[in-house]
Structure 1
Amino acid sequence: MLSSLLGTFSSSCNAARQLSFRNVNLASTRRISNLVTKTKPSWTPGRPLQSKLQQKSIFAHGLLCQRRASHNLALNKRFFSQAPPPSQPLPILPSKAVGIWLMVSSSLVFAIIVVGGVTRLTESGLSITEWKPITGVIPPLTEREWEEEFTKYKATPEFKLLNHSIGLDDFKRIFYMEWGHRVLGRLIGVVFVGPLAYFAVKKRISKSLAAKLGGLGLLIGAQGALGWYMVKSGLDDKLTETPGAVPRVSQYRLAAHLGMAFLLYAGMFGTGLATIKEWKFASGGNWMGISQSAFSEALNKLPVRTFKARAWALTALVFLTALSGAFVAGLDAGLLYNEFPLMGGRLAPPRDELISPAYAQKADGSDKLWRNIFENPTTVQFDHRVLAITTYLGTTLLFLRSRSLRTMLPMTARATTVAFAMVNVQLALGISTLLYLVPVPLAAAHQAGSVAVLSAMIHVLLTLRRPGAAAQAWRALYNQRVQATSKK
C-alpha cells in the first residue's frame, strides 16, 4: 500500500510539472514545479517512515499535486490534449477578455463623441470656464457654489453677446451638459488605463501591444488637454471687441479635438475586434469564414489586392469627410443653403462667394484660397457636400466590386454590404439635418453615423488581413494537439 501511495504521489507531481498552467507560455508551469519541489515533505526513499504524521503529510501532498494537475488540465483543455507540451514558449496571445475590454473602451469613446456633439449643438461647451482635472469631477452642490460658477460664466463673451438674458436654472442645464461630457472623458481614462496596467503587469499582452495601447492611453490625456485648449478659444475677451463676432470655439481646434477622438476610437475598436477574431481562430475557428490556406491564396490574387487598396483609400476618405464636418459645425455652416442637391438654385455657389477676398488677411491676398477653404462657411459646406458625395459613390463602387468576392472572401463581401448600408443611412441623416435647419436629434445622429461608417470600414479592412504571428502559432499548436488526439 505504501509503494502504491508513493507511486501515486510521484506520478501526480510529474503531471503537475509537465502541464502548462497558462496559455501564454510555460513560465507558470515552472513556477508550479518549483512550488511542488519546495513544499514536498522531507523523506528519503528507502528509509522507513518515522510516524503516522509523516505518512499523512506525504498523502496530503500527493492529493495537492493531483488537484494542481487536474486544475492545469482543465484550464488548458482548449489547446492541450495528451500530447507533450511545446518545447519552446509560445508568443503571448491576448485573451478574449482583452478584446472585450477594448470594445467596451471604444464604445465609451463612441458615446463621448455623440455627447460632445450634443454639447456643441446646445451651446453648452463654454459654460464651465475652468479646467480642473481632479476637483472638477464634483459639480456645485450648494446655491452659493452655483452662484459663483454663474458669476464666472457672466464674464464670458458668450454670456455678454448671446446669453445675457438666461437665469440660474438655464445655466444649470448647459453646465450639466458640459460637466457630463468632461466626466465621461475621465471615465474613459480610468476604464482604459486601469485594465491596461493589469494586463501589462500580468503579461497577458505582448510588449509591442502594450506599447501601442500605452500610446492610446497617452492620447486620452492629450485629448483632455486639447479639449480645454479648444474651450479657451471661445472664452477669449477679444471676441467682444470684434464687430459681428460670434462666441464659438476655433473650428481648427474643434476639428483637431474630433479628429483625435476618431483616432482613439479607431485604435481601440480595430485592435479589440482583431483580438477577438484572432482568439477565436487560435481556438479552432476558421479565419474570416474560410480555411487559412484558402484565405492566403485569395489575398495573393490581383483583384483582392486592388480591392484592399481601394478599401484603405475609402477609409481615409471617410475620416477626411468626418473632419470636414467638424469645420461645418464649428462655423455653423449647416445653417446656410438648406437645400439639396442644389445651393441657391445651382450645383455650386458663385465663384466670388466660394473664394471671397474678404477672408484674406495678408495685403497681397496670398492666403485667400486656403482661408476660404477653412474659414468661409459657404465654402466649408460646399467642400463637405463634395466629400460626402464622393464617399457615397466610393462606397457604392466598393460594394459592387465586393460582389465578385463572395466566393473567395465571404466575410469581406458581407462587411462591405454593411458599410454600404451605413453610408446610405448617413446620407439620409445628413440631408435631413440640412433640410430641417440642424435640429439637435438629427445632427447628433448624423455625427454618430460618421462613427458607424468608420467602424464598418475598419471591419472591412480587418477581413482583409492575415492573423497575427501569435494567433498562427497557437493555431498550429491546436492543430498538433487535435492530430495527436485523433491518432489515439
Structure 2
Amino acid sequence: MSHSSNPQPRALATWLLAVALLVGVIVGIGGITRLTESGLSITEWKPVTGTLPPLNEAQWQVEFEAYQQIGEFQQVAGPQGMTLADYKFIYFWEWFHRLLGRVIGLAFALPLAWFWLRGAIPAGYKPRLLALLALGGLQGALGWLMVRSGLNTQMTDVSHFWLSAHLVTALFTLGGLIWTARDLLHLHAESSAAAARLSPLALVTLVILFIQLLLGAWVAGLNAGHASDTWPLMSGQLLPQAGWDRGVLHAFTHDPFLLHWLHRWWAWVAVAALVVLARHSKAAGDRPASVMVHSAFGIQIILGIATVMTGVALWLAVAHQVVGALLVAATAWAANRLGWRQRAGS
C-alpha cells in the first residue's frame, strides 16, 4: 500500500541521471568486451548463479572446455594458441559486462519500487518509467540473443544485426533516461510544466543520428574498421571497391568496405543536423546543451579518424564508443529543451 502522494521530481531526476551514467559506463565496457573478442567466452546464460565467476581450477576447466566447442575457438583462438590464462582474461570482460548489466537492473528497479510505494512519482510518469524498465529487460534479452548467435561451430563472431540491436537499444534507453530526467527537472522548477514534445527538427535529427549509430554498430560487428587505415581516402580511393555481386541489399548490410565508407561520410550529415539542433536549443535558452552537442560531435569525429588511422587501437575505439553515448545524451538533452520550449509556447 502506497503512502499519500508526495511527488519528488528532482529526486527522481537525480536517480535517472545516475542510472544514465551507469548505462554510459556499460556501453564502454561493452566496447572493451567486443574489441578483446570476449563476448563469446561465456557460453551459457545463468541469471543468478552466473553472478559469480568460476571459483576453482575445476570450474575454470569446465568453462574453458565449453568455449572450445564453438567456432571462435576452433577457427581463431585455438589456432592462435589460447591458454587457460588467456581465456580467463576474456572471460573477465564478458562476466563484468553481464554483472554491470545486473547492477543497472537493480539500480533502476529497486528505487523505482521505493519511489512508487512512497507516492513520489508525479502523475503521468509511471507508464514512462515502466517503459524504461521494460527497455532494460529487453536489453538483457537482446544481449543473450546476440551471444547465442555466435555459439556454433560455423560462426567466429556474433551476428552484427544482433549486436546493432543490442547497442542501439542501450543508446535509446540512455536517451530516454536523459529525456525523462529533463522533464522531471522542468517539473521541479515549475509545478505546472508539461512534458516536452518531440519537435519535427529533433525527430529528423534523431533519425539521422540513429542511422549513423546503426552504421557504426554494423562496422563494429563486421570488424569493418580494419577495412582502411587511411583518411580521408580508402586504399587511395574516394569510393571503395564494394562487392555488388550478391546484390545491392547485401552490399549495404554486409560489405565491410561500403559500410566503413558510409559510416565515415554519413557522419557529416549527422553533424549538419546536430549543428542546427544545437543552435535552436541555444536560441531556446539552453546554451550548455548547445555546447555539449558541439563538443561531443567534435571529439567524436577526432576519435573516429584517430581510430581508423591507428588500425582500431583498442582504447581509441572504446573512447569513440563512449563519446558516441555522450553524444546521444547531449542530443536528447538539447531535443528535450527545444521540445519543452515549443510546448510552453503553444
- How much has 1:233 moved relative to structure 2? 1.2
Residues 468 and 207 of structure 1, relative CA distance in 2, 3 Å threshold:
farther
Residue by residue over 1:44-88, the C-alpha shift from the partner in whole angstroms, topping out at 9 and shown as x without a partner, is xxxxxxxxxxxxxxxxxxxxxxxxxxxxxxxxxxxxxxxxxxxxx
Paired position in structure 2 for 1:336: 227
Contact 2:293 / 2:331 at 8 angstroms: preserved in 1?
yes
Residues 400 and 224 of structure 1, relative CA distance in 2, 3 Å threshold:
closer
- How much has 1:312 moved relative to structure 2? 3.1
Paired position in structure 2 for 1:429: 303
Q: How does 1:402-417 map to 2 (within 5 A)?
A: 405=283, 409-411=284-286, 413-417=287-291
Residues 385 and 154 of structure 1, relative CA distance in 2, 3 Å threshold:
same
Q: How does 1:443-454 map to 2 (within 5 A)?
A: 443-454=317-328
Contact 2:277 / 2:335 at 8 angstroms: preserved in 1?
no
Residues 136 and 316 of structure 1, relative CA distance in 2, 3 Å threshold:
same
3-state SS, counterpart of residue 38 of structure 2: coil
Contact 1:319 / 1:454 at 8 angstroms: preserved in 2?
no
Paired position in structure 1 for 2:274: 395
Contact 1:96 / 1:275 at 8 angstroms: preserved in 2?
yes
Contact 2:20 / 2:177 at 8 angstroms: preserved in 1?
yes
Paired positions, count: 339
State the alpha-carbon separation in 1 of the partners of residues 12 and 275 from structure 2. Answer: 34
1:441 equivalent in alignment to 2:315: yes
Contact 1:103 / 1:273 at 8 angstroms: preserved in 2?
no
Residues 223 and 381 of structure 1, relative CA distance in 2, 3 Å threshold:
same
Q: How does 1:330-409 map to 2 (within 5 A)?
A: 330-349=221-240, 353-357=241-245, 360=246, 368-399=247-278, 405=283, 409=284
- How much has 1:402 moved relative to structure 2? 6.5
Contact 2:292 / 2:330 at 8 angstroms: preserved in 1?
yes
State the alpha-carbon separation in 2 of the partners of residues 443 and 170 from structure 1. Answer: 22
Contact 1:318 / 1:453 at 8 angstroms: preserved in 2?
no
1:230 equivalent in alignment to 2:146: yes
Q: Give the letter aligned to residue 121 of structure 2.
A: I
Among candidates 267, 270, 274, match of residue 176 of structure 2: 267
Paired position in structure 2 for 1:160: 74
State the alpha-carbon separation in 2 of the partners of residues 391 and 336 from structure 1. Answer: 22
TM-score (normalizing by structure 1): 0.65
1:111 equivalent in alignment to 2:25: yes
State the alpha-carbon separation in 2 of the partners of residues 400 and 104 from structure 1. Answer: 27
- How much has 1:200 moved relative to structure 2? 1.7
State the alpha-carbon separation in 2 of the partners of residues 179 and 311 from structure 1. Answer: 37
Contact 2:72 / 2:153 at 8 angstroms: preserved in 1?
no
TM-score (normalizing by structure 2): 0.90
1:126 equivalent in alignment to 2:40: yes
- How much has 1:131 moved relative to structure 2? 0.6
Paired position in structure 2 for 1:311: 202
State the alpha-carbon separation in 2 of the partners of residues 402 and 343 from structure 1. Answer: 36
1:96 equivalent in alignment to 2:5: no
1:193 equivalent in alignment to 2:81: no
Q: Give the letter aligned to residue 164 of structure 2.
A: A
Residues 250 and 95 of structure 1, relative CA distance in 2, 3 Å threshold:
same
State the alpha-carbon separation in 2 of the partners of residues 402 and 347 from structure 1. Answer: 35
Residues 190 and 232 of structure 1, relative CA distance in 2, 3 Å threshold:
same
3-state SS, counterpart of residue 154 of structure 2: helix
State the alpha-carbon separation in 2 of the partners of residues 259 and 325 from structure 1. Answer: 10
Contact 1:103 / 1:269 at 8 angstroms: preserved in 2?
yes
Contact 1:102 / 1:272 at 8 angstroms: preserved in 2?
yes
Residues 399 and 136 of structure 1, relative CA distance in 2, 3 Å threshold:
closer
Paired position in structure 1 for 2:340: 466
Q: Give the letter aligned to residue 464 of structure 1.
A: L
Paired position in structure 2 for 1:281: 190
- How much has 1:468 moved relative to structure 2? 12
Aligned-pair identity (%): 35
Residues 220 and 401 of structure 1, relative CA distance in 2, 3 Å threshold:
closer
Greater radius of gyration (CA): 1
- How much has 1:101 moved relative to structure 2? 0.9
**Unpaired runs of 5+ in structure 1?**
1-26, 29-90, 240-246, 293-298, 300-304, 361-367, 472-488
**Unpaired runs of 5+ in structure 2?**
none
Residues 172 and 417 of structure 1, relative CA distance in 2, 3 Å threshold:
same
State the alpha-carbon separation in 1 of the partners of residues 332 and 187 from structure 2. Answer: 16
State the alpha-carbon separation in 2 of the partners of residues 155 and 392 from structure 1. Answer: 45
State the alpha-carbon separation in 2 of the partners of residues 463 and 389 from structure 1. Answer: 23
State the alpha-carbon separation in 2 of the partners of residues 427 and 268 from structure 1. Answer: 25
State the alpha-carbon separation in 2 of the partners of residues 138 and 398 from structure 1. Answer: 45
State the alpha-carbon separation in 2 of the partners of residues 238 and 335 from structure 1. Answer: 22
Contact 1:426 / 1:449 at 8 angstroms: preserved in 2?
yes
